[in-house]
Structure 1
Amino acid sequence: MSPPAVPAALHPLVAAFLDDRVAVRAALRRFGSPLHLVFPQVFADNLTALRTVLDGVPGGYRICYAHKVNRSAALAATAAHAGIGIDVASAQELRSALTAGFGSDRIEVTGPKGAALLRAALAAGVTINVDNLWELSTIAEMAETTVPVLLRLSGFAASAPSRFGIDHTEVERAFELLTRHRDRLRLLGVAFHLDTAATQERVAAVGDCLTVLERAYAHGLTPTVLDIGGGLRQVFTADAAAYDAYDQALRVGLLGRGPAVHWGLNSFGYQVTDGTVHGRAVFHKYANTESAPTMLGELLAAPLPGHGGRTVSAVLADNLLQLWLEPGKALVDHAGITVTQVEFVKQVGSGTTLVHLNASRDTVTAADQEVLIDPLVLSEPGESSPTGVYFAGHLCLERDLLTQRQVRVDRLPDPGDPVVFANTGAYHMDLSAAQASMHPLPARVAVRHRAGRFVLYPDTVYRPGDEVR
C-alpha cells in the first residue's frame, strides 16, 4: 500500500522544462548530478507580482532582494537588471552585489555586523541597516562621510523576543548617538523583520514603529522610511488536501493503526501518549496556500489601530513615509529546483524500499528539516504501479536519508532516472551545503526559455537581457 501523494506546486515554465525529458537528461550529462537549476524568468515574474501590489502604495516603495536566500549570480544579476535594490549580509554578498551591477545607492547591508563588514560597507558607500548600539557608535567612529542608516527595532509588545535589532528600551540612546553625530549619521528610517507571517503581528509592529518615528522627529531627525523586512511565505504544495491527508496518514502510522510512513523512530515532532498523537509536527510551512503578493496586499489593506480605521498603506502616505521591504523567498519562489539521479534501488528490513540517489540530504534542504513535498521521478513511460519508498543518498549515518518519510512513486525507478526536488531556490540549495567525503558542490545553472526552447548557462556567465519566452 502506498502513502498519499503530496504533489509539488510548479511554475508553468519549470513544468514545461521538466516535461522535456531530453532537455533534463542533457542538462545532467553536461553539468553533472546533482544539479541546481535556477530560472531567472520565474524570479522576474515574482517581482512583477509584488510590484503590482506595491504600485498602489501612495508614498512609494523600494524592494531589496535578500541575497542570502540564494548565492546565485544569475538571480542577483536579474535583480540588478530589474532596477530594484539588494540586501546583503556579508562582505562576500556585498562583492557579489557590486559584481552584479548594483550601485551603492541600491545596496543595503543588514544583519549583525562586525568591524570588518562595517569597514567594507563604509568603503562601498552603501546604506547600513543597524542591528545594535555598538554598530551605530562604531559607524560614527569609522565614517569619513555621512552614512545613511536605518535602525532595526525589536522588543515589540505583540511579538516574541528577538536576538536581532535594537530594543525599544534603547531607542533613546540611539537617538542621542544620531543627534550627536549628525555630520556622520543620517537616519533614513526604522526597520523590523519578524519571524512570522501573521498579518496582525506585522500591523502591530508597524504601529510601534510609527511611535518611534514620532520620537525621532522630536529629536530633530527627519526619517522618511519604514522598512518591514521580508518573511513572506512560499507556496510549496499543489494540493493542500493531499498534504493534510499525508499528515493524517503519518499520525495513523505513528499510532500503529495503519502502515507506518516514518523511518525508524522519527516522529517529526509529534508525541504519542495514551493512544493519541499530541503536539505539532516540525515540518516547514509546506501547507501554506497563500501567495506572497496576497499576504503583502493583506498587510497594506489592514486597518491600523489608533488611526481611525485607516489602512497601513494610507497611514504611510499620510506620514509621507516610503515603504521598504527585503523579500527573498517571495522572489525565488518556484525559481529553483535540484535534479539528481537514481543510483540503485534496494530492499531492506520488512520489505522497505530504498531509492539511492547520488546526493546528500543537505543538497536539497537543511539537515534538520524534512521536506513534506514529494520529489518528482522522471522515469520513462511505463505501467503504473504506485508504491512507497524512502530516498537515500550520501554520508554514513542511519539518519542520513533524503526523506525520512515514505514517498509515493508511480513505479520503482531505474538507475539513471532523474529525480527532481522542487522549489529548492530559497535557502535549500545553500543553507547547509556540505562537502563530506569530498563530494563536490553541485553545479548551479541558469535556465532561460527563448524562441520555444530552453537554453542553459553556467550561473556565473548568465546575463539578463531579452526575456521573451
Structure 2
Amino acid sequence: MTPPAVPAALHPLVAAFLGDRDAVRAALHRFGSPLHLVFPQVFEANLAALRAVSDAGAARYRICYAHKVNNSAAFVRTAAGAGIAVDVSSVQELRSALAAGFPPDRIEVTGPKGGGLLRAALAAGVTVNADNLWELEQLAELATTNVAVLLRVSGFAGSATSRFGVDLSEVDRAFDLLVRHRERLRFLGVAFHLDTAATAERVLAVGDCLDLIERAYARDLAPTVLDVGGGLRQVFTADAANYDAYDAALRAGLLGHGEAMHWGANTFGYHVADGIAHGSPVFHKYANTEPAAAILAELLTAPLPGHGGRALGTVLADNLLEMWLEPGKALVDQAGITVAQVEFVKRAGNGARLVHLDLSRDTVTAADQEVLIDPIVLAERPESGAVGVYFAGHLCLERDLITQRVVRIAGLPAPGDPVVFANTAAYHTDLSAAQAGMHPLPAKVAVLHHDGGFVLCPDGDYRPEAR
C-alpha cells in the first residue's frame, strides 16, 4: 500500500540542517535519541515578519510571545533579547520570563489564575489579564500598589461559547469593580482570544470591544489597549493538494471504498454513517498554506463595520489605542523538530509494517491528535521502494502508535536511522509529553547556523548575546 505523500513544509534553515546528515547524526550522538531541536533564528525570522506587518498596519502595537507553546529557554530568551513582551500563564512561566531578562512592564499574566499565581503576579509587578470577576476582586483585595489590569471578555455574537473571559452581559459588573478600586486597579483596556484565525469573526469581536471601550470612557475609565490575542496559524504542509488527496483516500478507506489506511477502529474524529464520513477530523489545521503574517495583514486592513469602511488598524490608531498581540504558534512556526531513531521494523498480524522508534506518541502530538504530516526518514540505505508504514512508539501500550494512519516513505529504514517529525515546537513537544515506563523526557537543544555550519547548544545554556 503506497498512500499519497503529505510532505512537511520546512524553513530553509531547518531543511539545510537536515540536508547535513553528519550534523544530524552528530546531534544524536552527543545528546541522545529522541531529541527536540529548536531554531532561535527561525523564531527571529517569524518575529520580523509579524513586526513588518504591524509596522505597516498599526500605529502602536505590542507583541507578546505566548510562552505556553514551548518550555524552551532559548525561545523565551530570544524573545526577551528582541525587545518584545511575553505572555505567561503559570508561576513557573513567570519565573522563566523574569530569569530570561524580561522587565515587569513587558510581562503579561493571562489564563485562569488561582490565588498563588495572582500573588506572584502582584509581587513581580506585572500586568494581569483578568479572566473573571473573582480575579478582579482578589486583585483589589490583595494589591498594595496600583496594578495594571486588562479585562478579558467573551460572548461575541457569531463566536463559539468560551470558558474564558467575562461575558459581555457581565462587563458592567467588571467596570463597577474597576471604578470602585481605581486606586489599586489601573485599567489598561480589554482583551479577547478567539479559537479561530477567521478574520471576519475577529473583526466582529473588535467592533464589540470598541463599544466596550466607549462605555469605559463614559465610566471615567481611560483604556488605551485592545488585546486581540493570538491564534494565528502555522504552515505545516508543503503541498496542500497532496494533503487533500490523502484526506480523501483516508475517508474512502474508512468507508471501505479503497484500501484501509487507518489502524483498528480509529476514525480520526469522522463519524461514518450511511456511506458517508461525516464531521471534521481530529487533526490540526495542517492544510493551511497562509502564513501568520498574511493573516495578520488581512486583519489589520479589514474594513471595520460602523466605521466608514476604515481599516481596523486605522481605527485603532485614530482612537489612540495600542494593539496587543499574543502569538505563540506563529513565532515558533517551523522553528522546532523532533528526531528519533529507528529501533526495528516488523510486520503485524494484519500484514501492516511497523517502524518502531525510541519515543512515544505523546512526545510529538498535542492533546493526542493525529500527526498528519509525514515524518522524514533519513535512511542511509533504504530497503525496497516506496511503501506504506505505521510508526510505532516504545511504550508497552496498544495506543502508542505514533501514526495511527499509513505513512508513505521512500523505503524501509534500518535500526539507528533517524526519523524527523517536523514543526513540533508549538505545543507538540511539551503539552502531552509523558514519562510512562520511566522513559526520560527528550533533551532540548538549540541549533544555530554560524559561519556556514551548524552549532549545537543545550537549550538551558543558550544566550542570544553569546552567538
Which TM-score applies when normalising by structure 2?
Answer: 0.98
**Offset at residue 318 of structure 1 (A):** 1.1
SS of corresponding position for 1:297: helix
In the alignment, the residues of structure 2 paired with residue 178 and residue 367 of structure 1 have an alpha-carbon distance, to the nearest angstrom, of 37
Tell me the alpha carbon deviations over residues 23-44 of structure 1, each in whole angstroms, 9 at most, x when there is no partner: 1011111111110000000000
Instruction: Tell me: CA distance 1:58–1:27, structure 2 relative to 1, closer, same or farther (3 Å).
Output: closer
2:448 is matched with 448
**Match of 2:126?**
126
Distance 1:165 1:390, change over 3 A: same
2:289 matched residue in structure 1:
289
Aligned 8 A contact 1:361 1:367 in 2:
no
Q: 1:71 matched to which residue of 2? A: 71
SS at match of 2:447: strand
Partner of 2:425: 425
Q: Note the 1:32-71 alignment, pairs <5 A.
A: 32-71=32-71
Q: Distance in 2 between matches of 1:373 and 1:382?
A: 20
Cα offset, 1:228, TM superposition:
0.1
CA-CA distance at 1:432 after TM superposition? 1.1
Deviations 1:138-162 (A, max 9, x none): 1111111100100000111121111
> Is residue 9 from structure 1 mapped to residue 23 from structure 2 by the alignment?
no
Identity %: 75
For 2:384 and 2:334, the matched residues in 1 are separated by 27
Q: Deviations over 1:142-199 (max 9, x none)?
A: 1111001000001111211111001111111111111111111111110000011111
Amino acid of the structure 1 residue aligned with 2:291: S
CA contact (8 A) 2:301 2:313 kept: yes
Residue type matched to 2:198 in 1? A
Quick one: distance in 1 between partners of 2:375 and 2:315? 45
CA distance in structure 1 between the aligned counterparts of 2:2 and 2:57, rounded to whole angstroms: 49
Equivalent position amino acid for 2:185 in 1: L
Kept after mapping to 1: 8 A contact 2:383/2:413: no
Cα offset for 1:381?
A: 4.8
Question: Which AA in structure 2 matches 1:170?
Answer: E
Counterpart residue number, 2:26:
26
* CA apart distance, 1:80: 0.2
- Provide the secondary structure at the position in 2 that maps to 1:193: coil
Deviations 1:40-78 (A, max 9, x none): 000000000000000023431000000000000000000
**CA drift at 1:251:** 1.6
Alignment of 1:222-301 (within 5 A): 222-301=222-301
* Partner residue in 2 for 1:322: 322
Alignment of 1:210-221 (within 5 A): 210-221=210-221
Counterpart residue type for residue 335 of structure 1: A
Question: What amino acid is the match of 1:318?
Answer: D
Counterpart of 1:95, as a letter, is R
Cα distance, 1:382 vs structure 2: 5.2
Q: Which residue of 2 aligns with 1:80?
A: 80
1:363 alignment partner in structure 2: 363
Tell me if the contact between 1:150 and 1:189 (Cα under 8 Å) persists in the aligned partners: yes
Show the counterpart of 1:437. Answer: 437
1:396 alignment counterpart = 396
For the structure 1 residues 230 and 264, does the alpha-carbon distance in structure 2 shift closer, same or farther, using more than 3 Å as the test? same
| Contact 1:57–1:317 (Cα < 8 Å) also in 2 | no
* Separation (CA, whole Å) in 2 of partners of 1:157 and 1:276: 32
Higher mean C-alpha deviation, range 366-375 or range 376-385: 376-385
CA distance in 1, matches of 2:58, 2:261: 51
CA distance in 2, matches of 1:120, 1:407: 47
CA deviation after TM superposition for structure 1 residue 383, in Å:
6.8
Counterpart position of 1:173: 173
Deviation at 1:260, TM superposition (A): 1.1
Provide the rounded CA distance (Å) in 1 between the counterparts of 2:230 and 2:452. Answer: 35
- The answer on whether the counterparts of 2:86 and 2:97 sit within 8 Å (CA) in structure 1 is yes
Q: Quick one: which amino acid aligns to residue 16 of structure 1?
A: A
Maintained 8 Å contact 1:11/1:334 = yes
CA contact (8 A) 2:148 2:188 kept: yes
Match of 2:186 in 1: 186
Matches of 1:446 and 1:343, distance apart in 2: 25
SS of residue paired to 1:440: coil
Does the 8 A contact of 1:158 with 1:205 survive in 2? no
Conservation of the 8 A alpha-carbon contact between 1:268 and 1:281: yes
Contact 2:110 2:130 in 1 (8 A): yes
RMSD: 1.1
Q: Separation in 1 of the partners of 2:258 and 2:180?
A: 69
Q: CA deviation at 1:367?
A: 4.8
**Counterpart secondary structure, 2:59:** coil
- What is the CA–CA distance in structure 1 between the aligned matches of 2:161 and 2:241, rounded to whole Å? 34
- Superposed, 1:142-153 pairs within 5 Å as 142-153=142-153
For the residues of structure 1 that align with 2:382 and 2:171, how far apart are their CA atoms? 66
> The residue matched to 1:349 in structure 2 has which SS?
coil
Could you say what secondary structure the match of 1:4 adopts?
coil
Match of 1:342 in 2: 342
The answer on whether the counterparts of 2:58 and 2:323 sit within 8 Å (CA) in structure 1 is no
Matches of 2:38 and 2:5, distance apart in 1: 25
- Paired residue for 1:372? 372
> How far apart, CA to CA, are the structure 2 residues paired with 1:194 and 1:79?
23
Separation in structure 2 between the aligned mates of residue 154 and residue 18 of structure 1, nearest angstrom: 43
Mapped to 1, the partners of 2:280 and 2:201 lie a distance apart of 21
Cα pair 2:344 2:355 within 8 Å, conserved: yes
- The structure-2 alpha-carbon separation of the partners of 1:396 and 1:58, relative to structure 1 and needing over 3 Å to count, comes to closer
Give the equivalent residue in structure 2 for 1:407: 407
What SS does structure 1 have at the residue aligned with 2:454? strand
Amino acid at match of 2:278: H
SS at match of 1:465: helix
Q: How many residues align?
A: 467
